[in-house]
Structure 1
Amino acid sequence: MTLQREIIACKGFAAMDWRIKALAFRALELPGGAHAHYFLQRHVTRNWPRRSTTLDSLAGIARRVVEDYARHIGGMPASVLEVGAGRDLAVPLALRRLGVSKVIACDVERLGKLDLIQHAANRLLAGQLQLRSWDELEQFGVKYLAPHYVSPDDETVDCSCSNEVLEHVPADQLAFLLKGLRAITKGITTHSIDYSDHYARSDKSVSRLNFLRYSDKEWRPFNSGKQYVNRLRHSDYVRMFKEAGFTILEESSVAGESPPDLKIADRFKNYDAADLFAIKGRIIAR
């Protein structure tokens, strides 16, 4: 895709009908799509580099991770693994500032970019880090592994975590991921999960529970790799953590409002209302 064609395709991308956006994400799976996707995020929706308010919020996520560890284990974890570290590794940087000696940031795709990491570091580390290479990042205490799938053969860590990542993992891969985390996590694993329809973020005409009306077959055309969500509900995650061998220490969810005209697909009819209509949740396990 040429730069000119990218610019033309970008118009209205940030606030288009969700079905058209789903088709656009499908197109981004074609060769050259990864470059086009980043171009859209950086120059059209302007998600990158992140705003200071977003970076401050992610610093709060890092603080919550160490608070979870202190509450259930005590003290500061010496090592933390973040699953799904993204492009700027903001949470790992914030964890280092809080006193975590070693942070492993992993992702199934190599999304990290040094200039974005530097931008995040300028905000979160107050100029303490000047990056010229990935080696310097590792010397600082953040090891970046991507592409990488967590497995029982990985090095052990005191704590593992993720922030709005698990909902993007297919159920079979999630089971494998949780077993890997169970094998390598010595202390606790702590996760924030978004259970809502992500297309509602840009199309305000649909609810955050819109995807519950579709069967798996009906939803499949809209569920591209760039915007994949597994549609699992809170109880599914709790069950899968237990099946992986974890003991649940804390779990909570927040229910959204169900639109009065929402017709629920058969797949979801056996869930109770609070579970079905949850839009976010947290799980801490050991």
Structure 2
Amino acid sequence: MAKWWMKAVVQKAISFLPQRERVNFWFQRYVTRGVDLTDEHFGYKLDAARDHLAYYRKYGAAPPAQATALELGTGWYPIVPTLLFLAGFSRIVSLDIRNWLSRDRQHLALTRILDYHDRGLLADYLERVEPGRLAVLRQIVASPDRLTVAEVNDRLHLEARIMDATRLDFPDDSFDLICSNNTFEHIYPDVLRNILREFRRVVKPDGVMSHFIDLSDHFAHLDPDITIYNFLQFSRENWALVDNDIQPQNRLRWPDYRRMYAELDIPVREEAVRPGDLSALATVNVHPDIGNYSPEQLAISHGYLVS
């Protein structure tokens, strides 16, 4: 059985279990190693923070010391929020459907960030580091066993919230920056529309939204024998049999996201896409259910939508 099929079968089975998130965490930690803070994962998070900050500097109004940020998808490691903290943001809120943070993972993330700074590598991702904020990081890392997760978050000006993003409890016009990284592709369209409606409500009139979307088949991250377009061959019904509630993939293409923004009257200031691989796309018999798009539109593998 192909690697991707094995993972699909296991995750599908896990999705029916009680405490499925705990079981999936064990599976990812000890089998697929998806929880590990690899160099690749760390680099991708640094890239995302750099890009969000660059878009904010380009379009945002408030200086970082007066700015507030909302991140969708906290994940295992608070890397993006920590870089926002180092950049000077006054308040950072990060939302997720579960609490994935732990003291060990916090410590590992902050240690890696400090190591990058001390080796002169962080300058490629962060234009300026607030010296006082850097000192806070050093204090946290120096005493990992004496601080709880909540205490570390408090020192980072980070509010890690478990919240339904379709029903935010923040007032209108609350945030200067709203961002996400590899999150939209895991949210089904109807839910994503409601999340975007809430984002439109809570972002300030002169605020910025920056969302990085991965349009590739995530099973290809594990299995090199399939292309990143493998999931486009399935009908809606057949994909529903393969897809799972643990790591769902909506299979939306770039024009679908653009159309959703247009329907919600969210203006796009800028978009930056990776064109993908037309030759790899040509090996897949794309199902009509995906939509009537050009090969170039179908092939887009990743992109930023900035509004």
TM-score w.r.t. the length of structure 2 is 0.81
The one-letter amino acid of 1:195's match is: L
The alignment yields a C-alpha RMSD, in angstroms, of: 2.1
For 1:152 and 1:36, the matched residues in 2 are separated by: 28
Aligned partners of 1:26 and 1:224 also within 8 Å: yes
Higher RCO, 1 vs 2 (CA within 8 Å, ≥6 residues apart): 2
Q: Does 1:170 align with 2:192?
A: no
Q: Does 1:62 align with 2:49?
A: yes
Partner of 1:123: 112
Q: Give how far 1:226 is off.
A: 1.4
Partner of 1:270: 292
Could you say what secondary structure the match of 2:271 adopts?
Answer: strand
Q: Give how far 1:180 is off.
A: 0.5
For 2:220 and 2:254, the matched residues in 1 are separated by: 19
Moved more, 95-104 or 25-34: 25-34
- Residue by residue over 1:118-148, the C-alpha shift from the partner in whole angstroms, topping out at 9 and shown as x without a partner, is 2112222453424324144124300010143
For 2:85 and 2:167, the matched residues in 1 are separated by: 24
Partner of 1:203: 223
Q: Does 1:220 align with 2:240?
A: yes
Q: Give how far 1:166 is off.
A: 0.2
For 1:162 and 1:133, the matched residues in 2 are separated by: 22
Aligned partners of 2:94 and 2:161 also within 8 Å: yes
Aligned partners of 2:102 and 2:149 also within 8 Å: no
Q: Give how far 1:151 is off.
A: 3.3
For 1:221 and 1:282, the matched residues in 2 are separated by: 30
User: In percent, how many aligned pairs have the same letter?
Assistant: 27
For 1:200 and 1:53, the matched residues in 2 are separated by: 15
Question: For the structure 1 residues 45 and 128, does the alpha-carbon distance in structure 2 shift closer, same or farther, using more than 3 Å as the test?
Answer: farther
Structure 1 residue runs without a partner (length 5+) = 1-14
Aligned partners of 1:42 and 1:49 also within 8 Å: yes
Which of 19, 26, 49 matches 1:39? 26
- The 5-angstrom pairing of residues 63-82 of structure 1 reads 63-74=50-61, 75-76=63-64, 78-82=67-71
- Residue by residue over 1:236-277, the C-alpha shift from the partner in whole angstroms, topping out at 9 and shown as x without a partner, is 111112222311100132222234342111123411221111
- The 5-angstrom pairing of residues 57-206 of structure 1 reads 57-74=44-61, 75-76=63-64, 78-125=67-114, 127-129=138-140, 130=144, 131-151=147-167, 153-155=169-171, 156-186=174-204, 187-206=207-226
Q: Give how far 1:218 is off.
A: 1.0
TM-score w.r.t. the length of structure 1 is 0.87
Question: For the structure 1 residues 279 and 56, does the alpha-carbon distance in structure 2 shift closer, same or farther, using more than 3 Å as the test?
Answer: closer
Partner of 1:6: none
Question: For the structure 1 residues 33 and 99, does the alpha-carbon distance in structure 2 shift closer, same or farther, using more than 3 Å as the test?
Answer: same
Q: Give how far 1:150 is off.
A: 4.5
The one-letter amino acid of 2:56's match is: Y
- Residue by residue over 1:15-66, the C-alpha shift from the partner in whole angstroms, topping out at 9 and shown as x without a partner, is 9521221110012121243222212222333333413553244123212212
Structure 2 residue runs without a partner (length 5+) = 115-136
For 1:31 and 1:269, the matched residues in 2 are separated by: 36
Aligned partners of 2:281 and 2:299 also within 8 Å: no
Partner of 2:127: none
Q: Does 1:233 align with 2:253?
A: yes
